[in-house]
Chains A and B, each alone.
Chain A
Amino acid sequence: MEWLIFAVLGTWLIVSALGVVFVKNPVHSILFFLSSLLAMAGIFISLGAELLAGIQLIIYAVAIVVFYVLVITTIPWEKVKRFEGFYKKELIISAPALVILFILMAYMVLKGKFATPVGVIKDNVREVGKTLFTSYLFPFEVASVILLVAMVGAILLGRREEG
């Protein structure tokens, strides 16, 4: 059963990731990205990370994808049309290199041993919340500062120069 879920979701994920890279139209590419996010949320649920799956759906699949589409609509379409698709020469050079890299990493993973487990998680959401607000409280606050700085930077970059 586990392997069946892995096969279905993994195939879905890889096919939509390849679609993101190789489809011509940017809007279609973003739709493939949305599909890969849904597959990823399913994988998170099957791995027992329910909170992360929900956050993935809310933040990625709603906020970030809508933001991308919004930005594409602000750019004139004929300009986007001039630069769609991918560079052929770079693809021919880089694809074998990346395949070799994948084989090397896969060899490392298959030959290596995992660490021994230290415990069993029963209630995922409760455990994540407890750890996030005790051990990781300071990084959590730093993350909020990062988001604030990103918001200020985006407003600064996005405003029109009035003079």
Chain B
Amino acid sequence: MSIEKAYILLSIGLFLIGLLGVIVRKNLITILVSTELMLNGINLALVVADKVIGRVDGQIMAFFVLTVAAAEVAVGLGLIVAIFRLKGYEGSSEITQLRD
């Protein structure tokens, strides 16, 4: 087994751990942190693919993933704060309807 395959397996494991966090966590903020873990796993897979092929396109994709992660964090945390202030909800099981 080459080292690149081991790194790909590591990235798959990180992605699935993040997915597990999205499924099982109660707190909305920790759900967002778990999505960040998933994005990190994707970044690792892109960088390893770069090392395999010998180009830099994957790192640029990872750069854009990072940009989108920053945007997602801004909007997501804004949404969470708005949900908390309007409704007082903090757990994912409390949110059962979208309307007022």
Q: Which residues from chain A sit less than 8 Å from chain B, CB to CB?
A: 2-3, 6, 10, 13-14, 17-18, 20-21, 26, 29-30, 33, 36-37, 40, 43-44, 47-49, 51-52, 55-56, 59-60, 63-64, 67-68, 71-72, 74-75, 79-80, 82-87, 90-91, 94-95, 98, 101-102, 105-106, 109-110, 114-115, 117-121, 124, 127-128, 131-132, 135-136, 139, 143, 146-147, 149-151, 153-158, 160
In B78-100, which residues have CB < 8 Å from any A CB?
Answer: 78-82, 84-85, 88, 90-94
Given A80-B27, A110-B1, does the pair A40, B77 have CB atoms closer than 8 Å? Answer: no
Give which listed residue, A14, A43, A74, contacts B13 with CB less than 8 A.
A14
B78 to chain A, nearest CB (A): 4
B-chain residues with CB within 8 Å of residue A47 when the two chains form the complex: 7, 47-48, 50-51
User: In the complex the two chains form, what is the Cα distance from A131 to B73 in whole Å?
Assistant: 27
Measured between beta carbons, the chain B residues less than 8 angstroms from A44 are 47
Q: Which of B1-33 contact A (CB under 8 A)?
A: 1-10, 12-14, 16-21, 23-27, 29-30, 32-33
Closest to A116 in B: B53
How many interface contacts (CB-CB < 8 Å) are there between A and B?
219
Taking each of A17, A29, A80, A117, which has the highest tally of chain B beta carbons within 10 Å of its own beta carbon? A17
Q: Are B66 and A56 in contact (CB under 8 A)?
A: yes
> What's the tally of chain B residues with a CB closer than 8 Å to chain A?
73
In the complex, A101 Cα to B1 Cα: how many Å?
A: 20
| Residue pair B48, A118 in contact (C-beta under 8 Å) | no
Pick from A79, A101, A131, A150: contact of B57, CB below 8 A. Answer: A131
Would you call A13 and B14 a contact (CB within 8 A)?
yes
Chain B residues positioned under 8 Å from A95 (CB to CB): 20
Closest beta carbon of chain B to A76's beta carbon, Å = 9
28 A/B residue pairs, CB under 8 Å, sorted by A: A6-B3, A14-B13, A17-B37, A26-B29, A33-B37, A43-B44, A60-B66, A60-B69, A67-B74, A68-B73, A68-B77, A71-B77, A72-B29, A75-B29, A79-B84, A79-B88, A80-B90, A98-B16, A109-B5, A114-B4, A119-B55, A128-B60, A146-B67, A151-B74, A153-B75, A153-B78, A157-B81, A158-B82
For residue A90, give the distance in angstroms from its CB to the closest CB of chain B. 5
Q: Which residues of B contact A (CB under 8 A)?
A: 1-10, 12-14, 16-21, 23-27, 29-30, 32-34, 36-37, 40, 43-44, 47-48, 50-57, 59-60, 62-64, 66-75, 77-82, 84-85, 88, 90-94
